[in-house]
Amino acid sequence: MTATAAFAHPVYPYRRPPELDGTARHCGVVVIGAGPVGLTTAIDLAQRGIPVLVLDDDDTVSVGSRAICYAKRTLEILDRLGCGEAIVSKGVGWSIGKVYHGDTLAYQFDLLPEAGHRRPAFVNLQQYYLEACLVQRAQALAPAELRWRHRVIGVTQDADRALVRVATPDGEYDLSCDWLVVCDGARSPVRHLMQLDTEGQVFRDRFLIADIRMSSDFPTERRFWFDPPFHPNQSVLLHRQPDNVWRVDFQLGWDADPDEEKKPERILPRLHAMLGPDARFELEWASVYTFQCRRMQKFREGRVLFAGDAAHLVSPFGARGANSGVQDADNLAWKLDLVLRGVAPARLLDSYDAERVVAADDNIRNSTRSTDFITPKSAVSRLFRDAVLGLAREYPFARRLVNSGRLSVPTVLHESPLNTPDHDAFAGAMVPGTPAADAPVTGPKGAWLLDYLGGGFVLLIVGGEVGGAEAEALRSGNVPCRVVDVGGSAPDALADVAGLVAARYDATPGTCYLFRPDQHVCARWRTFSLARVRAAMAAACAIEQA
Amino acid sequence: MTEPRKGSSVLNTDANMAVPDDFYEALLGMHRDLTDAQSALANARLILLLANHIGDAAVLGDAMAAARSGVPGVPMEADHA
């Protein structure tokens, strides 16, 4: 449709690569695709000092708002990558969702009912803003190089390297790399080049996305309607974005003609039915889509790793696409770093597959369930759906069955081979495999616990002490580990100002948590032992132990 | 038949109604004057209300399996519960 009025798409210049003039190049990591997933992968690696080359066949950011809902965990990852504040301050935060049946409120949920977290449950922001911010960040990091209008046309690999054939406006060249990360989106040309398939199901339904610009005093919340009077027998979803842009998503049914439905003369009456005949708005972008829930069988193929939509696809209900892709990057980058430095074996990358396949299945399961509710496939599923919506008006139990999208939360990696199982007794949610819960603290570099976790391994000790020699031994190991002291006597100890570190981590004096570089708990104990921390770090790096 | 599962109950298929004829009359009464579509919706509501009352996933799983397996023409399935 039309280009956006408020957002001027940057054009990132194509530059003739030196390889065309005879300079051979071997890279540690090549990333294909400069979307949210490829860029977060590149930033994470570059922050770790790993040279990374990003290839993109285009020269600008996404056209249309596309992914708009960024979940709390994604924002926390973006904080670690130096982009969180820019995204949150530009975006609109929300945590309340309302579900209507007809014109009656059937159900309301709050995705973050407790205080003491830096980031809200969700921030809505057009994907082009996110991408522009990530490009800016990547360009500021010396180890990252972005190449625009560089299209990958061939991939081969042997035991030692992957070879990439790249087409540019000036001709073709070859790159070799240790690791190739494929983040080229749902259609993934590179996945097709490599003749790899995805498995799953296509849903027989069509949806219209319309982004409109209007001034409105609608509250900042997610609204979902089943069978509203303005769009009978179908569903509608409304989200607010910055710049007075609103996303309206109309369910159309399988028989809708996608080319016809994209025309303004078809879209405008639908919007006027919803917003009133006198509503004033501008149509900014529209698209008609179908969706699928499917994934590749394996996310690692030798020296090639697949991430984001290239590896797995879900329906948009639940905001599990871009959010899970950013979490793929979060999972992969530190592992690539350790493998490239030679301090962890290449099989550590198998845990990327193991962990993110579990997450993809979790997302696919949730997304499929939402879709089965929103788009009933048979008369009886429609009957039960309507029965649930009817009961939800009167009975709280039925509200919990209403499914307009179960919104993205990070998957707990319960069965991860990198976890050290608990031996000590703990209550609460922070089992090994869980991403760190935030909590307010005071300390030298930030007011939130997450400011002190991530990057490398971190041993958090609450109300206890790690001796100087032992802390130094951890800090100077092959794979280093920082000690973060909460409520202890060290001069740089954090203070648990609201008691929420102790509460959320079920911590008693001397409790230790070991966090991976991606802020996931991988082991915990009631007392400190250097040998146990070292063994747990080795397990988390897939290092064989004697 | 079904082995008892740890921590959950088993579907009670023994006679458990004090006055079965009263129940049956009430069940038909629930559908009085309803169209087929209205009856189908009332049945669905009834199932959801009872399922919530029972709550126990194992009991519900047993009941669903028993309900499905007795439908003529439907092959027997392995127990997924």
Query: Is A218 in the same domain as A256?
Result: yes
Q: What integer pLDDT is reported at residue A52 of this predicted model?
A: 98
The answer to whether residue A230 scores a pLDDT higher than 50 is yes
pLDDT of A355-380, one tens digit each?
999 999 999 999 999 999 998 989 99
Mean pLDDT of all residues in A451-468: 94
Give how many domains chain A has, as a whole number: 3
CA distance A72 to A93: 10
Question: If you measure CA to CA, which chain B residue comes closest to A395?
Answer: B49
- Residue A212 neighbours by CB under 8 Å, 6+ apart: A245, A246, A248, A271, A281, A282, A283, A284
Judge: B41–A387 Cβ closer than 8 Å, yes or no: yes
Helical residues (DSSP H) of A342-484, grouped into ranges: 348-374, 379-392, 396-399, 468-475
The answer to whether residue A3 scores a pLDDT higher than 50 is no
| B67 vs A: CB within 8 A | no
Give the Cα-Cα-Cα angle A311, A317, A319 (nearest 5 degrees).
60
Query: Is A127 in the same domain as A167?
Result: yes
Query: Is A182 in the same domain as A299?
Result: yes
- Identify the band that residue A186 occupies on the pLDDT scale cut at 50, 70 and 90: very high
- Residue A191 neighbours by CB under 8 Å, 6+ apart: A182, A184, A198, A296, A306, A310
DSSP assigned state of A293: E
In a domain, A100, yes or no: no
CA distance A323 to A545: 35
Mean pLDDT of all residues in A461-484: 94
Query: Is A149 in the same domain as A74?
Result: yes
**Beta strands A144-148 and A52-56, pairing class:** parallel
- Residue B73 neighbours by CB under 8 Å, 6+ apart: none
Judge: B48–A383 Cβ closer than 8 Å, yes or no: no
% of chain A beyond a pLDDT of 70: 99
Chain A residues in contact with B52 by the CB 8 A cut-off are 395, 397-398
Who among A386, A397, A401 is closest to B41 (CB)?
Answer: A386
Domain that includes residue A67, residue range: 26-92+120-198+293-366
DSSP assigned state of A276: -
DSSP assigned state of A27: E
Question: If you measure CA to CA, which chain A residue comes closest to B39?
Answer: A383
| A289 vs B: CB within 8 A | no
Length of chain A, please?
Answer: 546
CA distance A366 to A372: 10
CB A303 within 8 A of CB A388: no
Average pLDDT, chain A: 95
Query: Is A129 in the same domain as A39?
Result: yes
Q: Give the domain-ending residue among A273, A290, A307.
A: A290
CB A332 within 8 A of CB A182: no
CB-based burial label for A246 (10 Å; 0-12, 13-18, 19+): buried
The answer to whether residue A90 scores a pLDDT higher than 50 is yes
Q: What integer pLDDT is reported at residue A465 of this predicted model?
A: 87
Query: Is A269 in the same domain as A300?
Result: no
The answer to whether residue A187 scores a pLDDT higher than 60 is yes
Chain A residues in contact with B44 by the CB 8 A cut-off are 383-384, 386-387
Q: What integer pLDDT is reported at residue B2 of this predicted model?
A: 46
Question: If you measure CA to CA, which chain A residue comes closest to B55?
Answer: A397
In chain A, count H helices and then E strands: 14, 25
Q: What integer pLDDT is reported at residue A5 of this predicted model?
A: 54
Cα separations in angstroms, B64 against A250, A442, A494, B47, B49: 34, 54, 54, 11, 15
In a domain, A463, yes or no: yes
**What b/e readout covers B20-51, taking b as 16+ CB neighbours within 10 angstroms?**
eeeeeeeeeeeeeeeeeeeebbebbbebbeeb
CB A499 within 8 A of CB A519: no
Chain B residues in contact with A388 by the CB 8 A cut-off are 48
The answer to whether residue A1 scores a pLDDT higher than 80 is no
C-beta neighbour count of A310 within 10 angstroms: 30
In a domain, A487, yes or no: yes
In a domain, A103, yes or no: no
Chain B residues in contact with A401 by the CB 8 A cut-off are 48
% of chain B beyond a pLDDT of 70: 83
In a domain, A384, yes or no: no
Among A470, A1, A538, which Cα is nearest to A262's? A1
Please identify among residues 396-425 of chain A the ones whose CB lies closer than 8 Å to any CB of chain B.
397-398, 401
Judge: B41–A390 Cβ closer than 8 Å, yes or no: yes
Task: Provide the Cα torsion A314, A316, A317, A320; round to 10°.
Answer: 60
Mean pLDDT of all residues in A489-499: 92
- Identify the band that residue B8 occupies on the pLDDT scale cut at 50, 70 and 90: low
CA distance A20 to B44: 68
CA distance A445 to A440: 12
Judge: A391–B41 Cβ closer than 8 Å, yes or no: no
In a domain, A21, yes or no: no
The answer to whether residue B81 scores a pLDDT higher than 60 is no
- Residue B48 neighbours by CB under 8 Å, 6+ apart: A384, A387, A388, A391, A398, A401
Chain centroid to Cα B69, Å, comes to 12
Question: If you measure CA to CA, which chain A residue comes closest to B38?
Answer: A383
| B48 vs A: CB within 8 A | yes
Q: At what angle do helices A348-374 and A379-392 cross, to 10 degrees?
A: 80
Answer with the residue of higher pLDDT: A2 or A461: A461
Among A176, A180, A146, A152, which Cα is nearest to A30's? A180
Backbone angles phi, psi at A63, to 5 degrees: -90, 125
Distance in angstroms between the alpha carbons of the first and the last residue of chain A: 62
| B66 vs A: CB within 8 A | no
The answer to whether residue A391 scores a pLDDT higher than 80 is yes
Mean pLDDT of all residues in A514-528: 98
Who among B40, B49, B52 is closest to A383 (CB)?
Answer: B40
- Residue A347 neighbours by CB under 8 Å, 6+ apart: A542
**What b/e readout covers A399-429, taking b as 16+ CB neighbours within 10 angstroms?**
bebbbbbbbbbbbbbeebebbbeeeeebeee
Characterise A526 by phi-psi region: left (phi > 0), alpha (psi -120 to 50), beta (else). Answer: alpha
Question: Which residue's structure tokens are 């990696």?
Answer: A413
Q: Give the domain-ending residue among A258, A290, A322.
A: A290
Q: Which of B48, B53, B54, B68 to mutate to test the interface with A (most CBs of A within 10 A)?
A: B48
Judge: B44–A397 Cβ closer than 8 Å, yes or no: no
Q: What integer pLDDT is reported at residue B78 of this predicted model?
A: 56
| A254 vs B: CB within 8 A | no
Query: Is A423 in the same domain as A527?
Result: yes
Mean pLDDT of all residues in B53-72: 95
Length of chain B, please?
Answer: 81
CATH of the domain at A532: 3.40.30.120
Backbone angles phi, psi at B79, to 5 degrees: -75, 120
pTM (2 decimals)?
0.93
CATH of the domain at A235: 3.30.70
**Beta strands A26-32 and A52-56, pairing class:** parallel
The answer to whether residue B13 scores a pLDDT higher than 90 is yes
Query: Is A473 in the same domain as A530?
Result: yes
What is the token pair recorded at A502? 């102790």
CA distance A181 to A333: 10
Q: What integer pLDDT is reported at residue A198 of this predicted model?
A: 94
CB B73 within 8 A of CB B21: no
- Identify the band that residue B77 occupies on the pLDDT scale cut at 50, 70 and 90: low
The answer to whether residue A2 scores a pLDDT higher than 50 is no
Query: Is A69 in the same domain as A190?
Result: yes
Chain B residues in contact with A387 by the CB 8 A cut-off are 41, 44-45, 47-48
- Identify the band that residue A546 occupies on the pLDDT scale cut at 50, 70 and 90: low
Question: Which residue's structure tokens are 């020699």?
Answer: A469
Query: Is A267 in the same domain as A358?
Result: no
Chain B residues in contact with A395 by the CB 8 A cut-off are 49, 52
A185 min Cα distance to partner chain B (Å): 35
Q: What integer pLDDT is reported at residue B1 of this predicted model?
A: 42
Judge: A388–B52 Cβ closer than 8 Å, yes or no: no
C-beta neighbour count of A5 within 10 angstroms: 11
- Residue A504 neighbours by CB under 8 Å, 6+ apart: A428, A429, A430, A437, A439
B41 min Cα distance to partner chain A (Å): 6
| B41 vs A: CB within 8 A | yes
The answer to whether residue A280 scores a pLDDT higher than 70 is yes
Task: Provide the Cα torsion A446, A449, A451, A456; round to 10°.
Answer: 140
Bridge partner residues of A462 (DSSP): A486, A511
Chain A residues in contact with B49 by the CB 8 A cut-off are 391, 395
Query: Is A134 in the same domain as A183?
Result: yes
Size of interface A-B (CB pairs under 8 A): 25
C-alpha dihedral sign at A431, A432, A435, A441: positive
Mean pLDDT of all residues in A415-437: 97
Mean pLDDT of all residues in A446-472: 95
In a domain, A104, yes or no: no
Query: Is A82 in the same domain as A231?
Result: no
Chain centroid to Cα A68, Å, comes to 12
Judge: A384–B40 Cβ closer than 8 Å, yes or no: no
